Amino acid sequence: MHVEEIRAAERSFRSSFGQSVPARKLTTEAIHAFQTIIYAHFREYGRELPWRETNDPYRILISEVMLQQTQVERVIAKYEAFVSTFPDFHALAHAPLREILRVWQGLGYNRRAIALKRTAETVVAVYAGTLPSEPAELVKLPGIGPYTAAAITTFAFNQPTVFIETNIRTVFIHFFFVDQSEIADAEIRPLVEQTLDAAEPRRWYYALMDYGVLLKQQHRNPNRCSAHYQKQTPFKGSNRELRGAILRALTRESRLSERELVHVIGADLVRMRHALSQLQEEGFVKKSGAYFQIA
């Protein structure tokens, strides 16, 4: 199928099956038609991404954590550098936090970096260096919630779990909730479960995500129809920006005083003290005398 044929099949599907029905149970015909469209697009236009070329649970874990709240394009280069520097759980568990943050720099949301280190330490200490495959075990690890646990289970172990992320949500809203708004994930989840390709869940979810990317390119913010849609708060001038600036400064220098940090970053002293207090509580930095350094 070429793009024009895929678009025609999509329009036909939405006309035939895309109207909201309470407690919807999809027919076998609807499921087959939906899967055919999604797979047709994937065969022609599926993205080649480095974490799709491996079944290594460690590498898939790294990619899934990096992809939390960060665009694919920004993740690609960082992913390659990260897994090259820290090739397995043992290497990451024993690496200094300062070195991990140095490699992580540019991805933002630095809590993910420290969570990955703590996860690696747990996997080495508790699971003998082997990532567990069950979502119930994965959610016990730092920084891994229900979505990430399910995604790892599918992408690393090819198990047919049910989960929703932004691109998947976009696809189901577009196909099954025509001209509706405030659509809850609880309404979408049964449809995800019914249409899941249990024989090839890894490939199926990749195909869904890539179709979601296509829809976002064609339609402005389709997830606004979701009941879970939230605008991202501005980064400029935020506490998150200040925290990131502190960590960048401390990865460049072995240690800095509060006064030196204020001078280097140019931040307000009160905000600086608040951010430093947070970073200490979370285990990012430690204070020795008048100086701060990466923990």
Which residues are part of the catalytic machinery? 64
Structure tokens at 68: 């939390």
**Which amino acid, one-letter code, is at 229?**
Y
Helix, strand, coil percentages in the chain from 3-state DSSP, rounded to 5: 65, 5, 35
Max CA-CA distance within the chain? 70
**What distance in Å separates the CA atoms of residue 75 and residue 253, rounded to the nearest whole number?**
25
Give the sheet arrangement for strand 291-294, strand by strand. Answer: 256-257, 291-294, 285-288
Can you tell me which residue has the tokens 């947070």?
278
294's enclosing H/E stretch is strand 291-294
